[in-house]
Structures are given as C-alpha cells and as structure tokens.
C-alpha cells in the first residue's frame, strides 16, 4: 500500500474506478490493462490525499509530461569509484504519464561518472527504438549529457565514443529534444539505475515492475 494514503480512501477510489471501467466496457469502449488500472487508482488516491493535506502557497516539483504526440525518456546513471563500475536506468512514458517501457543495466567496468551518464542515455535511446517511438523529449539530471547532445553529440572526453553512438541512434527518430531537469523530476530513472544487479539489460514493456510502481504514481500526481 502507498505510504501517504488512507486505506479507506484507497478502497473508495478503487471501487469507483472499477465501476467506471466496467461502465466503459459495457458501452464497448476500450479499458486499461490491470497494471495501468492499478497505477491510475494509486495516482488518484494520492492526489486526493494530498489535496486534503495541502497548505496554501506550497508547490511540489516533479516529473513533467512531454508535449502532445511526444514521449518522455528519463535517464540516469549510478557510479562507484571504488568498484570502477556503474549502472543505468531509463524509463519511457507518454504525454498522459502512462508507462510505456523501462530498462536497467549494470556496467561492470566504467572509468568515470560522465561515461556512465552517457551510457545511460545510449541505453535509453535503444529502449525508445525497441518501443518504436518517433518524437522524444529526453530528460537527464546530468547537465553534461544535455549540453553535449545539444551541441550535436560532439565530445572530446572519455565518453566521446558513447556520445557518437547516441548521435547515430537519434537519426532514427523524427525529433529529439534534450532538456536538463533536477533529480526530483527524474526519480523513476534514478531508482531504476540503482536497481541494476548485473551486466545484462532488464527491460519491462507495457507493465512496470512493482518496485517502481509507487514512484510512477507519485510522478503522475505532481505532473
């Protein structure tokens, strides 16, 4: 259960939402998958709970939805100087906050945090290609990644080869926009990067894993 919500509120929203989905099904309209229904119920309940507690003048900042007909790619990386290793996390969502896909991957050998962040972008762009999207807004909390890609992917640092690959991947899409966002707006990718356990990439399509579910619901409430 989500930590911020009252159990009775959750039950009430779930009953109403299931009634609404049943009504749509009765009229022949498309309904969501069980995973997306659960995410919607959680988000609505969080919205309601926070509305009851909200104090005037206090604004929260978090994930920002992309423009219409775009999808949002958030990427992040982890790095351990002692181990000389890293990890990547990437998540793809539509312009309503709906989950599309996510991935995480460990990097057994990496020399510096900048290379890990560039690798996270590469893994994210590969994920976009797997899903088949064309217009992408890319967010990272690493300013170096955004500056390099907004300058055409040209880098003379240790991650130069990775950025060159990222630039080539971008040519497969109709439009790619790169923007820097703070960690608070990039939490899902941050959590994914810290979930990586091995060098094999783990990919989730359509339905998110349970460990990321509460972060997704939280993002939708502050969208």
| pLDDT band (50, 70, 90) for residue 214 | confident
Q: Is residue 58 part of a domain?
A: no
Distance between CA atoms of residues 143 and 184, nearest Å: 14
| pLDDT band (50, 70, 90) for residue 58 | very low
Q: Read off the pLDDT of residues 93-130 as tens digits, 9 standing for 90 and up.
A: 998 888 999 999 999 999 899 999 999 999 999 999 99
Residues 176 and 203 in one domain: yes
Other C-beta atoms within 10 Å of 196: how many? Answer: 22
Residue 211: per-residue pLDDT: 85
Total domains present in the chain: 2
Residues 96 and 19 in one domain: no
pLDDT at 50 over 80: no
% residues pLDDT > 70 (the chain): 84
Residues 94 and 188 in one domain: yes
Predicted TM-score of the model (pTM): 0.75
Q: Is residue 2 part of a domain?
A: no
List the Cα angle 132/198/215 in 5-degree steps.
60
List the Cα angle 202/206/212 in 5-degree steps.
60
In which domain, by residue range, is 145 found?
A: 71-221
Residues 25 and 88 in one domain: no
- Mean model confidence pLDDT for the chain: 85
Distance between CA atoms of residues 84 and 22, nearest Å: 52
User: Burial, 109: exposed, middle or buried (Cβ in 10 Å; 0-12, 13-18, 19+)?
Assistant: exposed
Residues 119 and 88 in one domain: yes
% residues pLDDT > 90 (the chain): 54
Average the pLDDT over 137-141 and give the result.
Answer: 97
Q: Read off the pLDDT of residues 146-201 as tens digits, 9 standing for 90 and up.
A: 999 999 999 888 999 999 999 999 999 999 999 999 999 999 999 999 988 778 88
Residue 34: per-residue pLDDT: 78
Residue 86: per-residue pLDDT: 94
H helix intervals, the chain = 7-26, 34-53, 113-131, 143-150, 160-170, 187-193, 210-221
Residue 55: per-residue pLDDT: 55
Give one DSSP letter per residue of 170-213, joined into a string: HTTSSEEEEEE--GGGSHHHHHHHTT--SSS-EEEESS--HHHH
Distance between CA atoms of residues 21 and 44, nearest Å: 14
pLDDT at 78 over 50: yes
Residues 190 and 114 in one domain: yes
Residues 82 and 49 in one domain: no
Distance between CA atoms of residues 87 and 171, nearest Å: 25
């Amino acid at each position: 259960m989500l930590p911020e919500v009252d159990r009775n509120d959750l039950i009430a929203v779930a009953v109403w939402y299931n009634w609404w989905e049943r009504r749509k099904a009765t009229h022949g309209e498309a309904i969501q998958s069980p995973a997306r229904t659960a995410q919607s119920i959680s988000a609505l309940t969080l919205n309601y709970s926070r509305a009851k507690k909200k104090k005037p003048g206090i604004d929260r900042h978090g994930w920002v939805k992309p423009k219409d007909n775009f999808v949002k790619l958030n990427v992040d990386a982890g790095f351990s100087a002692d181990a000389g290793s890293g990890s990547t996390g990437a998540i793809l969502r539509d312009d309503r906050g709906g989950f599309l896909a996510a991935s995480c991957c460990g990097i057994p050998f990496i020399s510096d945090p900048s290379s890990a962040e560039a690798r996270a972008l590469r893994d994210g762009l590969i994920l976009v290609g797997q899903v088949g999207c064309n217009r992408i807004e890319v967010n990272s909390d690493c300013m170096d990644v955004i500056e390099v890609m907004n300058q055409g992917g040209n880098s003379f640092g240790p991650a130069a080869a990775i950025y060159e690959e990222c630039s080539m991947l971008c040519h497969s899409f109709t439009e790619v926009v790169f923007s820097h966002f703070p960690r608070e707006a990039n939490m899902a990718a941050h959590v994914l990067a810290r979930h990586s356990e091995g060098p094999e990439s783990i990919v989730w399509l359509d339905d998110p894993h349970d460990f990321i579910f509460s972060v997704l619901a939280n993002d939708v409430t502050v969208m």
